[in-house]
Amino acid sequence: MTETPESAISDDEDIEDDLDPQIVLADRRYEIIGDILCEVYEPGEEKWTLSDMLDTVLVHRYLGLPIFLVIMWAMFHFTFTASLVFMAIIEEAFAWLGTITAQIPIPWIASLLTDGIIGGVGFIVVFLPPILFMYLAISILEDSGYLARAAFVMDRIMMRIGLHGRSFIPMLLGFGCSVPAIMAARTVDGESNRLTTILISPLMSCAARLPVYVLIAGVFFPDYSGTMVFLMYILGIIMAVIMALVFKKTILKEESSPLIMELPTYQKPTLHGSVRHAWDRGYLFLRKAGTYLLVGAMILWFLANTGPSGFGVNSSESFIGIIGNWGTIIFSPQGFPWQIVAALIFGLLAKEIVVEALGIIYTVQGEAAIGAALATALSPLSALALMVFVLLYTPCIATVGTIRSETGSWKWAGFSVAYQLILAYCMSILVVLVGGLFLV
């Protein structure tokens, strides 16, 4: 019997001390599995399965990322194209309903129902189809097993910026809503890595921003609106990566650790499962529209029709007009009129309110009417700057509360709001400056 030299044992222990504990644990686990298989399993002729062939391409070192980007582009192009007909049907239905409420003999009730509720909440509901189709596409990708592989493909990038590989999973959740994305950061190892993930997750474009993108892209970039929406989502990822680099090099320094995960087998998504997932998310959107967005529409209508001189004033002289006109001083470089500024201020409560506020402030109904109003108020360059600002500034008040809850500190919640506002403001100005150079 040969004894193992103590020096060899010491060397092995030193090597393991330098490795991530998860890697050591995974190596030992699969080593034991391999020993057991050698005793109970006799391998036959090696065969390539469909899963092996797909993984050879989809998680390829160089092809994986371009394929991921193409799939994301196709998803957003499908979302925008497939929803156009349904959006038009819903818009016509609310326009017809608006003609009925406008005939109510009591003027202020007619205005509240037509311009406030139908012009605000009704216009929000028009964007239910793209939200449903986007979640349908995400559900198909998730049920098929591809999203787990997307996280694996992005792990190399995450490691290079100093983040934990698991950070990409909360970032993916951020495409749906920032609140669960921030809560999912609990799975990230290391306090510094977790805080960085929490701070950059709101930069991922949530579904609440989608109505703003669809509206602006449809008005100013109709020939490639799907591509413009896709670029907003990609820009969100890029800015999250850049800010993660900044945080990890300055205030949140910590060594990153690799992503260890077992890839699920590819599955054929079921129609029932995918539709059910999309409807669940759509139902949450409708419930939001029927509760606090409805209350918000009524409050916005009151503020848009009331001013220091009383009720029934012109919108520019109302409380909303006063707030918006004050803000135009700050947003003059971007070329935002007071109506846009007022909508952005109220959008701090929830991004859906941006679209809702525009419908109420302009006192128009339907995507075509509000699109015509925006076309006269903004240049295409200012419209692009508006999309960038909506992408990067604070998603909603619920996100701020979740950051406070997850970090246990108002300091980090306040820091998140401050840096996102500064980032959104600077990037929107940069869009105007750089775009102006090319248009000269």
Residue 311, helix vs strand vs coil: strand
Dist CA 231 CA 73 (whole Å): 8
**Would the pLDDT of 102 be above 50?**
yes
pTM (two decimals)? 0.77
- Band the pLDDT of 9: cuts 50, 70, 90: very low
Alpha-carbon distance of 132 to 415, in angstroms, equals 33
Which helix (H) or strand (E) covers residue 368, if one does? helix 367-377
Give the closest residue to 87 by CA, choosing from 205, 230, 195, 211: 211
* pLDDT per residue as tens digits for the range 197-232: 899 999 998 888 988 998 899 889 988 888 898 899
pLDDT-based confidence at residue 5 (cuts at 50, 70, 90): very low
| SS3 at position 16 | helix
**Radius of gyration for the chain, computed over Cα atoms and rounded to the nearest angstrom:** 26
In whole angstroms, how far apart are CA 329 and each of 6, 194, 335, 436? Answer: 74, 37, 10, 20
Distances (CA, A) of 86 to 83, 94, 229, 283: 5, 13, 18, 16
Residue 315 has pLDDT above 60, yes or no: yes
Predicted pLDDT of residue 162: 63
Q: Is 95 exposed, middle or buried (0-12, 13-18, 19+ CB in 10 A)?
A: middle
Max Cα-Cα span within the chain: 103
